Amino acid sequence: MSIATTRGDGGQTGLAGGIRISKADLRVESYGSVDELNTVLGFARSICQDKSIKDWTEEIQRTLFRVGSALATPPESAKKPPVITAEDVEMLTNLVHTIEATEGILSDWSLPGAHTESAAYEVARTVCRRAERAAVRFVEQGGIVQPFVIPYLNRLSDAIWLFGRLIELKAGIDARLRDESKTGPKWSRAW
C-alpha cells in the first residue's frame, strides 16, 4: 500500500474516524500547526546539546502527538481521541517554574539568534504561538476542543522560550534585548 492514495487530490482530507473535510478547514489548520510545531521541536532537539532540555523536548513531542490527534478527532467520530489533561498542563507549569528559579535566567525580552540552539527553540516558540492561535480561531468559529488543549499550547510556548534562555545562560551568552541603561517595566517574556 502506498502513502500516495490520491484521495486528497481534490482538496479533502480524512479525519480520525474516516470523516472527510476540506484541507482548508480550521480543524486541519489547528492540527497541522501542531504537527509543524512537533517537527520544529524535533529539529531543535536534534541540535541541542543539553540532555535535560533534549529529554523535556522529547516528552513534549510525544504529548504533541496526542494534542494533534485530539484536534483531528471530531466529536462525531466513532474513534475516541486521546485526552489532554490538567496534569499535562501542570507538568509544563512545573517545568516553567523550575527553569524560572534558575539563578541568572533572563527575565526580560531576548534578542533571538545569539546562539544556534536557542534560535531553534525561538522558531519553535513562534510556531507554538501560531498553533495556539489556530486552535483559538477554530474554537471561536464553533469548533469543539478539549478544555486543556489551548492551555497546554499556551504554557508550552512559555516553556520553549525558557529552553532558549537556559541554553544561552549555560553557554554564557547575554541575549538581552535591552541593556542596563534601558529602564522601565519588564514585558511578557514569551509574548
Residue 142: give its domain's CATH number: 1.20.1200.10
Examine residue 9 and state whether it is found in any structural domain, yes or no. Answer: no
Nearest to 127, CA basis, from 25, 33, 43, 59: 33
DSSP state at residue 84: P
Examine residue 3 and state whether it is found in any structural domain, yes or no. Answer: no
Count how many residues are written for the chain. Answer: 191
Examine residue 34 and state whether it is found in any structural domain, yes or no. Answer: yes
Examine residue 78 and state whether it is found in any structural domain, yes or no. Answer: yes
Q: Report pTM.
A: 0.87
Examine residue 162 and state whether it is found in any structural domain, yes or no. Answer: yes
- The H-assigned helical ranges of 48-102 are 51-72, 86-100
pLDDT tens by residue, the chain, 191 residues: 777 776 556 666 666 777 776 666 888 889 999 999 999 999 999 999 999 999 999 999 999 999 999 999 888 888 888 999 999 999 999 999 999 999 988 777 788 888 999 999 999 999 999 999 999 999 999 999 999 999 999 999 999 999 999 999 999 988 888 766 656 555 555 55
Give the domain range for residue 61.
22-171
Examine residue 68 and state whether it is found in any structural domain, yes or no. Answer: yes
Tally of domains in the chain: 1
Examine residue 71 and state whether it is found in any structural domain, yes or no. Answer: yes
Model pLDDT, residue 185: 55
- C-alpha to C-alpha distance for 105 and 143, rounded to whole angstroms: 38
